[in-house]
Amino acid sequence: MTDVVLDHITKTYEKGSVVAVDDVSFSVEKGELFGLIGPDGAGKSSIFRMLTTLLKPDSGFATVNGSDTVKDYRDIRKKVGYMPGRFSLYQDLTVEENLTFFATVFNTTIHENYDLIKDIYVQLEPFKDRRAGKLSGGMKQKLALCCALIHRPTVLFLDEPTTGVDAVSRKEFWEMLKRLKTHGITILVSTPYMDEATLCERIALIQGGKILSIDTPEEIIRRFPKPLYSVRCNEMSRLLKELRSFAEIESCNGFGDYHHITFHNEAEIEKLKDRLIKAGYSEVEIRIEEPTVEDCFIRLMKSLDNGE
Amino acid sequence: MENEVVIKTENLTKAFGDFIAANAITFDVYKGEIFGFLGANGAGKTTAMRMLCGLSTPTSGKANIAGFDIWTQTEEIKKHIGYMSQKFSLYEDLTVRENIRFFGGIYGLKGKEIRQKGDAIIKKLGLENEAKKLVKSLPLGWKQKLAFSIAIFHEPKIVFLDEPTGGVDPVTRRQFWDLIYEASERGITVFVTTHYMDEAEYCNRISMMVDGVIKALDSPKKLKENYGVETMDEVFYELARGAQRKAD
Amino acid sequence: MKQFIAFFTKEFLHVFRDRKTLLLLFGLPVVQIVLFGFALSNEIKNSKIVIFDYAKDATSRKIIEKLEVSKSFEIEKNITRVEDIDKSFRAENIKLAIVFPANFGEDLVHLKNASVQIIADASDPNTANTLTSYATNVIMSYQKEMMQTRNIPYSINTEMRMLYNPELKGTTNFVPGVMALVMLLICVLMTSVSIVREKENGTMEVLLVSPFNPFLVVISKAIPYLILSLFNLIVILVLSVYLLDMPINGNIFLLFAESALLILAALSLGLLISTLTNSQQEAMLFSLMGMLLPTMMLTGFMFPLENMPVPLQVISNIVPSKWYYIIVKSIMIKGLGFSAIWKETLILAGMTALLLTISIRKFNIRLE
């Protein structure tokens, strides 16, 4: 069963001069954990706002849970949970007051759906009399998630829930999402962090309002067209520039402590190590590497730029 | 890397009432070094960075930034550092060129110098067609590259970067780091915070702050060896997991 | 209903946890009443004056008697030499000298024209102006009496005329003005800022994507401020009755009903501003420029509208507080009933309806 459908959705701002979402189509199955992966300004928030009935598309149509996002917006508003990107709750209300307020607005009580938020709320409970403004980023995010879940939505939209949050809190947040999945809630989450892509069941890579690719993370990685190698040596920043100047190297990107490279011609790999040692590098290490989603994104983004 | 110390802190502490946001921070940063300043949310990074920039007075301790004392010479410090953050760095309602002119003027550069260097920046970033456009119409990544170029416009000794690449696409993020490397090669010390662990690898040395204290400080390679792990991600997780100060 | 209550509670919590807002809400009416009632009052009591009576006839004596009776003046002494005028101004705390020329009474009776010289200490021009008016007023009232008793058409022209507020009691003008000002300030500013704050925080997005009707979001935001404003109205009235001796001559329920109408107009305006702006500063600026300034200038309580250039008088007709001001003066001071103010009420109601319609039309159930 399909829970979310986008059919050729386009959205522009400022009288059409800024294209935020460019002819986007995809669908999300019921109970799926779907990730919208892309940088700032890629169109993620616009897509979420159209699906949550906050914006109308210029063209195309979308349905959530079978309801049209424009015509049946009231039905959708009853059924979905939404956590906007810059959502910061009511800073001057306490944790408990925030949650009670949102529960009441959604016509429910904390008690009624407690089983759903229990895992998350127990971590917040020691601070329930603390004002939301005095919580850390990670805690705020948990509270916001509780508020979005309090009415047991069928579809949950989380717009960049982990932006600006440290690696540990991010990890915890994704574990919470996985647990939520067991309740059968369809979850759409957007993130600029490519490393979070593999935590989703299916992802759409998005850039400049266009979908670059859409599939399971494994399939997207499998479709990476060439063998990828990682190179390491004693002088990484010089190596980066030098590799880019080599004719046989098709692409070269820094990835943490390695540089990821692909070749125009596979046979050249044999000669590379000698060439680098001759150029004065030491501790040269070259190995075949499994591409990451970020490798795929960079490759797709560049081919999109070159295609235009 | 030369051995000239440009940031030297000794037991630098900042307390807000009972709450010690930064506790006895002690470290040295060298000229031209790329120094990663990592830590979980609420670990005290922002507090420490504000003190180093001369924006807030420490409760106790000593620090010398670019040769100036943090207690008595904050105005001098501000002249010799650059600063850029994820949230504010440029005026959105001014054009690219107007921003360059404004910030050049603030740092007391002459009109001719501003024009020449401004042209160079615009050319280097490939912004020739955007020079007369409002900054708000640029993609985030371009804004951040421009903001960085402007932050080092006056050739500061140190540039402080507070999560400069948050939300920037992976290609532009790497271009941004190319700019950082260049600045570092010119002898500018780069003091940077980030949530991207692959970027932590690009730093010469990393400090990890947990609950207001610097828990670890070393090169990424050594840190990984010390903790017996493969990635910086794991190092971060090992260190930050024990943090007590989660709700603050 | 439960949702409404949750909303009220939340809104009140916002207000009570924000000390600055609280101060604005409850301090403002008090400060304004005290400020306008006392400090800025142009009412002056027991000013010392000197009399220089050349005439010493029945007419001059009668006028002096009248001056003596007036609360405004206290006759310090009678002087007999011209140079004493200047001396008493300099040496003593004399504000005014009144000089009756010789043959004052004779001239008045026979030539039907006489003059009195009023000399004021104009180092404080406002006081001088006011006191001169007071004195002129006393003299004029005497003339009126004479005309009535003797039935002779004296043709004495005076330039000062006190049309309203013959006693020149300052607070009568200020209290209705302050009422309008405070209610507008609180309702327009608080409503617009509190709605825009939700936009800034992203909470508005969440509220819109909820089963709660968007209009109810807005209405439940407005009602707490309606209640707070009515409470403020009570504070103002209590202060003005017990502190400033202001009468409430008319029906108090009518006064509250009319005030509720103004509050409604103000809430609609606040809502309109909130739909047009996206940041709290913007909303505040709009509210202050668009509401405080016209209210202060064009209501009529600080500057009489009659003396303004015609274009400004025309513009003043679209300022809701102008009509409210007329209504409140009629009820509180003149003690008139609804039949006397139905026209103004209708205009105010029309404005409210218009503002409400526009703001509801402009209010978006989505984000664009």
Q: Contact partners of A by the rule of 3+ C-beta pairs under 8 A? A: B, C
Given A39, A194, A302, which is nearest B141 (Cβ)? Answer: A39
Interface size A-B, in CB pairs within 8 Å, comes to 111
What local confidence, expressed as pLDDT, does residue C165 receive? 39
Whether A74 and A186 map to the same domain: the answer is: yes
Residue at a domain's end among A217, A244, A279: A217
A202 falls within a domain: yes
Interface size A-C, in CB pairs within 8 Å, comes to 85
pTM of the predicted protein model: 0.81
Q: Give B179's contacts (C-beta < 8 A, 6+ positions apart).
A: B145, B148, B149
- The CA distance from A124 to A141, in Å, is 11
A296 falls within a domain: no
- The CA distance from B181 to B33, in Å, is 9
**Alpha carbon B194 to chain centroid distance?**
9
Spell out which residues of chain A touch residue C9, defining contact as CB-CB under 8 Å: 101
pLDDT at C151 over 70: no
Pairing, β A285-289 against β A228-232: antiparallel
Whether A95 and A164 map to the same domain: the answer is: yes
**Chains B, C in contact, 3 or more Cβ pairs below 8 Å:** no
Spell out which residues of chain A touch residue C5, defining contact as CB-CB under 8 Å: 104
Whether A193 and A282 map to the same domain: the answer is: no
Low-confidence ranges of chain A (pLDDT < 50): none
Given C3, C203, C367, which is nearest A90 (Cβ)? Answer: C203
Is A189 near chain C, with CB under 8 Å? no
What local confidence, expressed as pLDDT, does residue A51 receive? 96
DSSP per-residue string spanning C88-113: HHHHS---EEEEEPTTHHHIIIIIS-
Is A152 near chain C, with CB under 8 Å? no
Burial A17-26 (b: 16+ CB within 10 A, else e): eebbbeebeb
Q: How far apart are the CA of C260 and the nearest CA of chain A, in angstroms?
A: 27
pLDDT at C155 over 70: no
Q: Which domains does chain C have, with CATH numbers?
A: 2-40+169-362 (no CATH), 47-150 (3.40.1710.10)
SS3 content of chain B, % helix, strand, coil (to 5): 40, 25, 35
Direct distance between the N- and C-terminal alpha carbons of chain C, in angstroms, rounded to an integer: 29
Instruction: Please give the residue of chain C at the shortest CA–CA distance from A101.
Output: C6
Instruction: Please give the residue of chain B at the shortest CA–CA distance from A236.
Output: B202
CATH number of the domain bearing residue A72: 3.40.50.300
Q: Contact partners of C by the rule of 3+ C-beta pairs under 8 A? A: A
Mutate to test the interface with A, among C2, C204, C209 (most CBs of A within 10 A): C209
Whether A8 and A125 map to the same domain: the answer is: yes
- Could you tell me which of C35, C23, C29, C11 has the C-alpha nearest to residue C232? C29
Q: Which residue has the tokens 């995010």?
A: A141
Total number of domains in chain A: 2
- Ordered by start, the domain boundaries in chain B are 1-80+156-248, 91-155
pLDDT at C156 over 50: no
For chain A, positions 44-63, list CB contacts with chain C under 8 A. Answer: 49, 52-56
What average pLDDT does the segment C155-178 reach?
51
Given B41, B140, B185, which is nearest A169 (Cβ)? Answer: B41
Spell out which residues of chain B touch residue A296, defining contact as CB-CB under 8 Å: none
pLDDT at C319 over 80: yes
A6 falls within a domain: yes
Q: How far apart are the CA of A39 and the nearest CA of chain C, in angstroms?
A: 20
- The CA distance from C324 to C330, in Å, is 10
What local confidence, expressed as pLDDT, does residue C171 receive? 56
Whether A241 and A258 map to the same domain: the answer is: yes
Low-confidence ranges of chain B (pLDDT < 70): 1-2, 88, 244-248
Contact at 8 Å (CB) between B82 and B162? no
Whether A207 and A115 map to the same domain: the answer is: yes
Where residue C159 falls among pLDDT bands split at 50, 70, 90? very low
Whether A271 and A161 map to the same domain: the answer is: no
pLDDT (tens digit per residue) in C85-134: 777 777 767 778 888 888 877 887 777 777 788 887 766 666 777 777 78
ipTM of the predicted structure?
0.85
pLDDT (tens digit per residue) in C325-361: 889 888 887 788 888 899 999 999 999 999 988 888 8
Going from the C-alpha of C9 to that of each of A96, B231, C6, the distances in angstroms are 13, 49, 5
Other Cβ atoms closer than 10 A to A298: 22
Mutate to test the interface with B, among A134, A237, A255 (most CBs of B within 10 A): A237
Residue A261 structural domain: 225-290
Given A56, A82, A91, which is nearest C209 (Cβ)? Answer: A82
Q: Do the Cβ atoms of B197 and A167 come within 8 Å?
A: yes
Q: Give B120's contacts (C-beta < 8 A, 6+ positions apart).
A: none
- The CA distance from B25 to B48, in Å, is 8
Alpha helix ranges (H) inside chain C: 2-17, 19-22, 28-34, 58-69, 82-91, 104-106, 125-150, 170-184, 190-201, 203-208, 214-242, 252-276, 280-287, 293-298, 310-316, 320-328, 338-362
pLDDT (tens digit per residue) in C21-59: 788 788 888 887 777 766 655 556 778 888 888 888 888
- The CA distance from B150 to C119, in Å, is 69
pLDDT (tens digit per residue) in A109-148: 999 989 999 988 998 899 999 999 888 778 888 999 999 9
Is A150 near chain C, with CB under 8 Å? no
Q: Do the Cβ atoms of A84 and C202 come within 8 Å?
A: yes
Alpha helix ranges (H) inside A73-208: 73-79, 95-105, 114-124, 137-149, 167-181
A246 falls within a domain: yes
Whether A153 and A245 map to the same domain: the answer is: no
CATH superfamily for domain B1-80+156-248: P-loop containing nucleotide triphosphate hydrolases (3.40.50.300)
Whether A173 and A191 map to the same domain: the answer is: yes
Q: Do the Cβ atoms of B240 and A166 come within 8 Å?
A: yes
Spell out which residues of chain B touch residue A166, defining contact as CB-CB under 8 Å: 39-41, 43, 195, 236, 240
Strand partners, B83: B160
Q: How far apart are the CA of C195 and the nearest CA of chain A, in angstroms?
A: 12
